[in-house]
Structure 1
Amino acid sequence: MGLSATGLGSGMDIGSMVSKIVEAERAPKQERIVKNMNDVETNISAYGRLKTSLDTMKDLMYDFRRNNTFASRSTVSDNPETVSASADHQAVTGVYSIDVQQLAQSHKLVSDGLDAKADFGAGKLTLNLGGRSATIEIKPEESTLLDIVRTINKHPSNPGIKASVINDDSGARMILGGDKTGADNQLAVTVNAPITSPLQALAFNPASQNNAMNEMQAAKDARILIDGLALVSSETNTFSDAIRGVDIEVSKVTTAEDGPVTVNVDEDRATVKASLEQFVDAYNAFYQVTKALSKYDPETQQGGPLVGDSVIRSAVNQMRSLFSTPIEGAPDSLKTLSELGLSTTMDGRLEINNAMLDKQLAQNFSALDGFFGGNNGFARKVEEAVQSFTGVAGTIRNRESSLGDQRVRLRDEQETLDRRMEDLQNRTLKQFSAMDNAMGEMQSQLSAMMNIMPS
């Protein structure tokens, strides 16, 4: 709080004097608090950067392990517009011939031409689709063809049947279509109304040859022939595990002229290599962070916020140890990361020997998942190492918690100092004011004495 009071008795600038006294008392304590607070905030930020760089590696390895990245498979179709495919890590590599004999279809019905403006009267329609059914009441005051369409579409128990109306030369036609493909998802419409009711024009029984409505599109399963031997059907145009670990999506029927589609399932070396490059980049980013935080410049005698910190040394040493330590239970042909072509350079970075890696990917791909995957593989080892630093009970978390406590204490010290300085200011101001008042009274008394003395 600024002071500007001027002593009436002494003529001194009391406010300025009090401020200087208070500032002289505050300065060394305030400087210490500010310096310590800056150090705490700098260290919290530094540990945050270190933790983020470590967690990036951990998260990558978790994703690789969860997604079985190092056993990835690729698929190539020579006619993707007709047949496309995707494969998981369980797929057996090979070349497969796919002949698409039939696509899956949903069931569709169409009525004869009807009078769109006529009332069809009261009654009930029971709609069935693949074993799911709903009974829909048609009210006499809402019984035009459009009314019936709206009632069907908005019914809460509709089993998945979409109704619509088209108009052609013969009149208005109702179309009913199922929302699921497959031979088992046939439509049926049972009419509960007098035999003479116009609603009877909407009846359909798939088991009967005589129906009021007509089959516009039959319900069909998709059907493919694999390698000229295995005939496989599916309710949809997707075939899951017809070939182990492979999902096949068909879009067109193959013709005798074009012949079957060839699908090649292979080891996905490109994805694995890109994943390893991701990890190398993540480690090198971590290593650059450690160098920036722990560097020391002898010329300026300035160091990074964590110079000399044992946490950084420990983190780097643990990661480097993982790179050279054999993984127990891994295939004999791939026990360490360096055998895959990944090793540390003289300056501490991790680099890839592409020739060595490409050779391992080409000749020893099946060993990668055994080295990286599982609960004891390299990926899990990286996760555990990082967790020991960044986890709830990790070293970095403990340091951050301690720094947080220091920050709270410094804030408390700041509040205490502010209160003490405010008390000092008020107390000193009162003292100076009292002195100034006393001096004013003395001057008044002196002036009075001078006035009564003879000149």
Structure 2
Amino acid sequence: MINGSTDVQSLALQFMQADRASQDQFFAQRQNAYQTQLKAYQALTGKINELHSTIDALADKNSLEAYSVTQSAEGYADITASGNAASGQYQINIDQLATAHQVALDFASETDPVATSGQLTLGLGGDTFNIDMAGLGAGADLTDLRDAINAHADNPGVQASIVRTGGAVKLMLTSEETGAANVVSMTTSGDPAMADIQTAIDNHTELSQAQDARIYLGANQSLELTSASNSFDNAIDGLTIDLKKTHAAAGDVLTFTVGQDGEATREQLQTLVDGYNAIVDTVNQKGVTGDSTARMLVQQLRRELSGSGISGLGLEFNMSGKLTLESGRLDDALAANPDALTETFGGDTGLLAKLDARLETFTKGDDSLLKSSSNAVQSSLDQLQDRMDRFDLRMEQTYNRYVNQFSQMQSLVMQMQQTAGLF
């Protein structure tokens, strides 16, 4: 009952809250449903992108079959095999390693002034660049010349450094790249002021030759292979050979065997299985269950997988709709046909390409299916927020009306009490 001591604002607030309680509950339920659905779409998009990355990684290997390399001795080379390597045994003799050209020029002191006129021309292979000595400035010394060489914009890869040993000072020039073609060359313009530098060039010491790596392939070492670096990448199909040291004698060989790595192959295929199953798990979560776009995604992916003959490779669906991998059947299939996975999954028309294309329809571009579905939910959430804002405004008006009504009632009660007091 309203009297003179009633807090009409608090009373009005209680009445207004009672009026809006059911509508607030409805708004909260709808808002939570939309937000849950948006989060689910975001989670699903994340799982699709992860499967995209898995497919790209498997496709980059050119084959799902992994290969291992077993060597007869360690320390001579690091050898790895990719999917298009041919299984078998190989023998190589490592005759020489690739080295970078390196020369040293003798100078009296690193602080004595160098020439302030003339030109020093340095080269690497067929590329040259010129150092204008006048540009070094008055009083320039050997350290300034070193810095000018290293900082020159046209330097093709000649690294200059100063070596101090036993009172002697040397300007060391080193090719940044190994290989017989990368020879450091040095000439001057013949200016008399360049006499000291020309003398150093004429009497330079070669610290390391520019040479290619060289190996001989085969038991009789009849095939010579060379490389400007110590890495032979795909000189033999599917093999990368990184040389570490040479053999002591011409007849010595490193024997290595290339074969399929069943465990690694299963691990690679399992990444695809896990990626698909992660999508299935996400679709089964609250917020996506029953969603037509999510159901379509799983249905299309399963259709591609089911129609590709993967059961013969040990892949099949369980009662939960998830993929499983039976290792024994996979091993048997690869034993019968080592290229079975590549034939099924590889190439522009293989399963990996088909799965990738399916995934792109759901996530690539603003018109993709998941993006469109997310936009529709976000639009509904925005409309709901507009309704909530308008409802808040009405409830504020309702609150003000209650305050006005209760205030009038309070004034009337107080007047009646005053009148009763007169009697």
For 1:429 and 1:127, locate their aligned partners in 2 and report how far apart those are by CA, in whole Å.
Answer: 93
Identify the residue that residue 146 of structure 2 maps to in structure 1: 149
Q: Secondary structure at the match of 1:142?
A: coil
Identify the residue that residue 342 of structure 1 maps to in structure 2: 315
Identify the residue that residue 218 of structure 1 maps to in structure 2: 209
For 1:389 and 1:156, locate their aligned partners in 2 and report how far apart those are by CA, in whole Å.
Answer: 48
Shift of 1:311: 5.1
Would you say 1:434 and 2:408 are equivalent positions?
yes
For 1:436 and 1:72, locate their aligned partners in 2 and report how far apart those are by CA, in whole Å.
Answer: 87
Identify the residue that residue 332 of structure 1 maps to in structure 2: none
1:99 partner amino acid: N
Q: Secondary structure at the match of 1:111?
A: strand
For 1:389 and 1:255, locate their aligned partners in 2 and report how far apart those are by CA, in whole Å.
Answer: 60
For 1:361 and 1:397, locate their aligned partners in 2 and report how far apart those are by CA, in whole Å.
Answer: 40
Residues 18, 384 of structure 1: alpha-carbon distance in 2 compared, 3 angstrom cutoff: same
Identify the residue that residue 195 of structure 2 maps to in structure 1: 197
Identify the residue that residue 298 of structure 1 maps to in structure 2: none
Instruction: Determine which structure has more spread, i.e. the larger CA radius of gyration.
Output: 1
Residues 196, 40 of structure 1: alpha-carbon distance in 2 compared, 3 angstrom cutoff: closer
- Counterpart of 1:160 (choices 113, 136, 157) is 157
Alpha-carbon deviations, 1:285-315, whole Å to 9, x = none?
4444445x3xxxxxxxxxx555555556555
Shift of 1:190: 1.4
2:213 partner amino acid: A
Residues 177, 271 of structure 1: alpha-carbon distance in 2 compared, 3 angstrom cutoff: same
For 1:41 and 1:415, locate their aligned partners in 2 and report how far apart those are by CA, in whole Å.
Answer: 17
- Counterpart of 2:35 (choices 22, 36, 41) is 41
Identify the residue that residue 284 of structure 1 maps to in structure 2: 277
For 1:128 and 1:61, locate their aligned partners in 2 and report how far apart those are by CA, in whole Å.
Answer: 46
Kept in 1, the 8 Å contact 2:94–2:247? The answer is yes
Would you say 1:175 and 2:149 are equivalent positions?
no
For 1:67 and 1:217, locate their aligned partners in 2 and report how far apart those are by CA, in whole Å.
Answer: 38
1:186 partner amino acid: V
- Counterpart of 2:22 (choices 2, 23, 28) is 28
Residues 56, 118 of structure 1: alpha-carbon distance in 2 compared, 3 angstrom cutoff: closer
Identify the residue that residue 330 of structure 1 maps to in structure 2: none
Identify the residue that residue 230 of structure 1 maps to in structure 2: 223
Identify the residue that residue 208 of structure 1 maps to in structure 2: none
Kept in 2, the 8 Å contact 1:113–1:170? The answer is no
Single out whichever of 406-415 and 384-393 deviates more from structure 2: 384-393
- Counterpart of 2:233 (choices 213, 236, 240) is 240
Kept in 2, the 8 Å contact 1:104–1:237? The answer is yes
Residues 288, 151 of structure 1: alpha-carbon distance in 2 compared, 3 angstrom cutoff: closer
Identify the residue that residue 299 of structure 1 maps to in structure 2: none
Identify the residue that residue 337 of structure 2 maps to in structure 1: 364
For 1:26 and 1:19, locate their aligned partners in 2 and report how far apart those are by CA, in whole Å.
Answer: 11
Would you say 1:107 and 2:101 are equivalent positions?
yes
1:38 partner amino acid: N
Residues 92, 417 of structure 1: alpha-carbon distance in 2 compared, 3 angstrom cutoff: same
2:231 partner amino acid: T
- Counterpart of 1:262 (choices 233, 255, 258) is 255
Residues 246, 19 of structure 1: alpha-carbon distance in 2 compared, 3 angstrom cutoff: same
Q: Secondary structure at the match of 2:248?
A: coil
Identify the residue that residue 453 of structure 1 maps to in structure 2: none
Identify the residue that residue 125 of structure 1 maps to in structure 2: 120
Choose between structure 1 and 2 for higher RCO, CA contacts under 8 A separated by at least 6 residues: 2
Kept in 2, the 8 Å contact 1:182–1:235? The answer is yes
Kept in 2, the 8 Å contact 1:323–1:338? The answer is no
Would you say 1:324 and 2:306 are equivalent positions?
yes
- Counterpart of 2:395 (choices 415, 421, 430) is 421
For 2:172 and 2:23, locate their aligned partners in 1 and report how far apart those are by CA, in whole Å.
Answer: 86
For 2:300 and 2:110, locate their aligned partners in 1 and report how far apart those are by CA, in whole Å.
Answer: 79
For 2:64 and 2:92, locate their aligned partners in 1 and report how far apart those are by CA, in whole Å.
Answer: 27
1:381 partner amino acid: K
2:385 partner amino acid: R
Kept in 2, the 8 Å contact 1:109–1:177? The answer is yes
TM-score (norm 2): 0.85
Q: Secondary structure at the match of 2:182?
A: coil
Unaligned runs of 5+ in 2: none
Same amino acid, percent of matched pairs? 27
Kept in 2, the 8 Å contact 1:114–1:170? The answer is no
For 1:117 and 1:27, locate their aligned partners in 2 and report how far apart those are by CA, in whole Å.
Answer: 89
Would you say 1:67 and 2:61 are equivalent positions?
yes
Kept in 1, the 8 Å contact 2:107–2:200? The answer is no
Residues 312, 166 of structure 1: alpha-carbon distance in 2 compared, 3 angstrom cutoff: closer
1:134 partner amino acid: F
Unaligned runs of 5+ in 1: 1-5, 204-210, 294-303, 328-335, 451-455
Kept in 2, the 8 Å contact 1:120–1:197? The answer is no
Kept in 2, the 8 Å contact 1:343–1:352? The answer is yes
For 1:155 and 1:142, locate their aligned partners in 2 and report how far apart those are by CA, in whole Å.
Answer: 20
Q: Secondary structure at the match of 1:69?
A: coil
For 1:399 and 1:321, locate their aligned partners in 2 and report how far apart those are by CA, in whole Å.
Answer: 22
For 1:196 and 1:287, locate their aligned partners in 2 and report how far apart those are by CA, in whole Å.
Answer: 76
For 1:143 and 1:385, locate their aligned partners in 2 and report how far apart those are by CA, in whole Å.
Answer: 67
Residues 305, 188 of structure 1: alpha-carbon distance in 2 compared, 3 angstrom cutoff: closer
Residues 240, 42 of structure 1: alpha-carbon distance in 2 compared, 3 angstrom cutoff: closer
Kept in 1, the 8 Å contact 2:283–2:289? The answer is no
Alpha-carbon deviations, 1:160-213, whole Å to 9, x = none?
22223333447322222221222222122212321783232232xxxxxxx222
For 2:322 and 2:363, locate their aligned partners in 1 and report how far apart those are by CA, in whole Å.
Answer: 21
For 2:167 and 2:7, locate their aligned partners in 1 and report how far apart those are by CA, in whole Å.
Answer: 107
Residues 170, 111 of structure 1: alpha-carbon distance in 2 compared, 3 angstrom cutoff: farther
